[in-house]
A = this chain, B = another copy of it.
Amino acid sequence: MNPYQAPLTDMRFLLEQVFAAPDTWAALPAVAEAVDLDTALAILEEAAKISSELIHPLNRSGDEQGVLHQGDKVITPDGFKAVYEQYSQGGWVGLCGEPEFGGMGMPKMLGVLVDEMAYSACNAFTLYGSLTAGAALCIKAHGSETLKQTYLPKLYSGEWSGAMDMTEPQAGSDLRNIRTRAVPQDDGSYLINGSKIFITGGDHDLTDNVIHLVLAKLPGSQGISLFLVPKLTVDAKGELGGSNGVSVGAIEHKMGLKASATCVMNFDDARGYLIGEADRGLVCMFTMMNYERLAIGIQGLGSAQAGYQMAADYAKERQQGIAAGGSPTGSTSDPILVHGDVRRMLLTIRAMTEAGRALAVYTGQQLDLAKYGEGELQARAAANVGLLTPVAKAFLTDRGLDATIMAQQVFGGHGYIRETGIEQLVRDTRIAQIYEGTNGIQAIDFLGRKTTGDDLAALTAFVGDLRTQIGDLSRVEPAHKQAVTERLDSLLAAADYINRHKRSQPALVNACAVDFLDAFGYSLYGFYWLLMADAAAVHPDPDFGAQKRYLANFYFDKLLPKADWHLAQVNAGDSAIMAMPAEFF
């Protein structure tokens, strides 16, 4: 296989031409101090190098070898520990972390692109650092000063890693059911008892300590609180002590992501420290969850990009048949790229993936504005982040699986055997539609809370902003502008109907949520293709500009109309879904 080649030109195009990152950064003093375009591009180049040269070589062997559970140790595949140390020492775990605790203070707009490259190179490896960064974010937002001082520098430096301990066998999507208990001690700490399942990076040999963020209930309370529970005790000076009653019950055997340690974790009188207020743990955890949701969206994006490269390379090399209408080179065998159906698959993956990258960068930009901005700008950005997070998680991962399956199809029979590696990508990325809240849960969050939850205020403002931006574009086809605008209007109309009927038809939101999110996703990607086509028209490299216009045309001709099918499903309502009695299933 060709090694992974990061799409640096596309990334720069988004930062510089499409979303004017340098302007955003210059306007935010804390960010301006850390980064300008040149620095950002240098960071991307270095990340590309690390992703292709260090991380990607672990991918296949990690899948073959898997994680081992021997005695009380969880052992990652050969090479993971050494590469993780190099990765940590390079500052990548703390890339977007707070400078006052040793983070690099880089904007998320850049961070999403670094994450994408790492996920393209190896899904399993990248999760370890991603969960660590998410845990740090949560501690930073809600932890006491002592917790921050003690834990953040070690997390940002990658010496310790993080994990998010929510699920129990009886409590998955419904966290009300958790049974893990926290009993307050005289010294202000808590003793935690219980079991958690499906804990990504719950234990492993990459770092000296694993910092668990654990949901548990206080005595006599049905509320849920959040606790920091280190695997090994940490004394007041921050030195490591002995075992803290945190152990691995088993590791899960999974469809893919075999180099990621997914653990059953047992807490036996493990000492924990409250994060945030008692009974308000879900709010705190959601800081981490929302971070991870975007990160997992980017897992889908990274897999899609890797799949595209593998399939495009294969399609340019593999010779079968000749072009309809005759070989362009007069050969008796052409590369399969000449065939319309192969092109259809590659163009679909690529058009979806490039728009997906735009969504990721745009969401990163909104996160940066929400974190570092002020006033109305900050408030709007925060609302946009709330709106876009479930969309980024669900739509990027659903399209990520579509992309890897299509890429596998391009390989024909060679796609089904392990040697070519494309089947691993399908298996690895499949989980992204499930964890951090299934994509159904994301859609219900989007339609139930983020959209109808405020009587469409955030959605209406967001769509209004898109319409204004579309109006300003002068270098794209008017028909394409109209196609996107019409879909956005139809979406608002559908949302309005649901909002007006959500009480009289209580199942409406749940039943229509996935299709509503998908319709929104296809429409939003249409908006990003307008932005990209407009910017590409004046790109200094005319070949690059031409590529984007070909892709935009493909998107508008072939993919945007899928929004209509999803809208038709939304508009068909919930009656056909809810009518059949349970016993008939």
Report which A residues bind B (CB closer than 8 A).
167, 170-174, 176-177, 197-198, 252-256, 262, 312, 315-316, 319-321, 323-326, 332-333, 335, 337-347, 350, 401, 405, 408-409, 412-419, 423, 426-427, 430-431, 433-435, 438-440, 443-444, 506-514, 543, 546-547, 550-551, 553-554, 557-558, 561-562, 564-565, 568-569, 572, 574-580, 582, 584-585
Compute how far the CA of A6 lies from the CA of B412 in the bound complex, rounded to whole angstroms: 32
Q: Is the CB of A174 within 8 A of B507?
A: no
Give chain B residues whose Cβ lies under 8 Å from the Cβ of A418: 253-255
Q: Is the CB of B577 within 8 A of A343?
A: yes
Q: From the candidates B324, B335, B575, name the one contacting A506 in the complex (CB within 8 A).
A: B324
A307 to chain B, nearest CB (A): 14
How many copies altogether? 2
Q: From the candidates B413, B511, B554, name the one contacting A341 in the complex (CB within 8 A).
A: B511
Q: From the candidates B167, B416, B585, name the one contacting A316 in the complex (CB within 8 A).
A: B585
Q: Is the CB of B254 within 8 A of A341?
A: no
Give chain B residues whose Cβ lies under 8 Å from the Cβ of A568: 561, 564
Compute how far the CA of A551 lies from the CA of B345 in the bound complex, rounded to whole angstroms: 32
Q: Which residue of B lies closest to A324 (CB)?
A: B506
Q: Is the CB of B416 within 8 A of A431?
A: yes
Q: Which residue of B lies closest to A439 (CB)?
A: B409
A485 to chain B, nearest CB (A): 18
Q: Is the CB of B427 within 8 A of A255?
A: yes
Q: Is the CB of B417 within 8 A of A511?
A: no
Give chain B residues whose Cβ lies under 8 Å from the Cβ of A176: 332
Q: From the candidates B332, B409, B576, name the one contacting A440 in the complex (CB within 8 A).
A: B409
Q: Which residue of B lies closest to A566 (CB)?
A: B565
Q: Is the CB of B435 within 8 A of A426?
A: no
Compute how far the CA of A250 lies from the CA of B188 in the bound complex, rounded to whole angstroms: 63
Given known A-B contacts A316-B585, A346-B585, A585-B316, A340 and B416 have beta carbons under 8 A apart: no
Q: Is the CB of A340 within 8 A of B578?
A: yes
Q: Is the CB of B426 within 8 A of A412?
A: no
A563 to chain B, nearest CB (A): 9
Give chain B residues whose Cβ lies under 8 Å from the Cβ of A256: 416
Q: Identify 22 residue pairs between A and B in the complex whose beta-carbon atoms are under 8 Å apart, listed by A's number.
A: A170-B319, A173-B320, A174-B319, A255-B416, A324-B509, A335-B582, A339-B440, A340-B512, A340-B578, A341-B444, A341-B513, A347-B580, A350-B585, A409-B438, A409-B439, A412-B434, A412-B438, A413-B435, A426-B430, A553-B576, A562-B565, A564-B565
